[in-house]
Structure formats: C-alpha cells, structure tokens
Structure 1
Amino acid sequence: MFKRVLWVSVGVALGVVAVSKANAYVKANTPDKARQFLLGPDQENVGARTLQGLVSQFKQAQQERERELNNQYINKLN
C-alpha cells in the first residue's frame, strides 16, 4: 500500500512540474496574441479556472446521476 501511495505521489509531483514547465515555456516562447487565444485573457489564473471548471462539471454530473437514480428507484416503488 505504501508503495502505491509513494508512486502516485511521485506521479502527481512529476505532473505538476511538467505542467508548470510547459506553461512557462508557452509564456516565454509564444506571441501575446497566440497566448491569449490559447490561455484566455486572464493568463495568471489558468490553473484555478481549469480546476474550477472540472469541479463544476463533476458536481453537475453527480447531480444528474443522482436524479437519474432517484427516478429509477421511484419508478420501482410505483
């Protein structure tokens, strides 16, 4: 179990480093217009906006699935 936690944490850490390096490379080597097209006008908060979008999509899917299951069980009772 400890090995799995270790390797998952190593993978997450490497992912964070790779994304930050790629983000720095894009910021340093692309023209401003292309960077605005790719990252949007608020280039400093791309990670926060992405995480917020993922959380909202997850919550929406969770609510839809809950409604679906509730309707399924209500129909079984009737």
Structure 2
Amino acid sequence: MKEHKTSYPITVEVFEGEILFGVNGQTNTLTRGDIVSLEANVPHNLKANKNSIVRLSLSKKDSINRVKGVLKL
C-alpha cells in the first residue's frame, strides 16, 4: 500500500508472514506477533515481503494512549 493516512488512530497486528511498515521515513520489518499503533493523521505505508495475514483495527473512539496501556500489561 502506498503512503496514506487515516483520520483515526490505528493498530496493525501481524498474524502470519512478514511486512515492511514505513512511518516518517523509517521502515520496520514486522513479523508474526508484532503490533504497531499510530495516532490519527500519521502517514504510513505497507509492503508484504511474504504472504501475510494482518489485522488493521481502526476506531473512531479509540486512542493511542489506551492501546499503549494495554500493551504494557
């Protein structure tokens, strides 16, 4: 997916495979079990290196601070 952004916070979780996830000019390789969360309006891109299963969660009522709090448990 070419660079884009959303009006709401997002969370991306990799279930299978390997993806390149770019944010602010930095590209990270994400594999099974990796999770990334972004605030609204942050430009990002994604490219699958292998066949992958990825879940994108977008919530109009969610916040990045809530997601970070859950990940610390």
- Normalised by the shorter chain, which TM-score bucket? under 0.3
Task: Please give the TM-score of this superposition, normalised by the length of structure 1.
Answer: 0.20
Whichever of the two has the greater Rg, that structure is: 1
Larger proportion of strand: 2
Task: Please give the TM-score of this superposition, normalised by the length of structure 2.
Answer: 0.21
Larger proportion of helix: 1
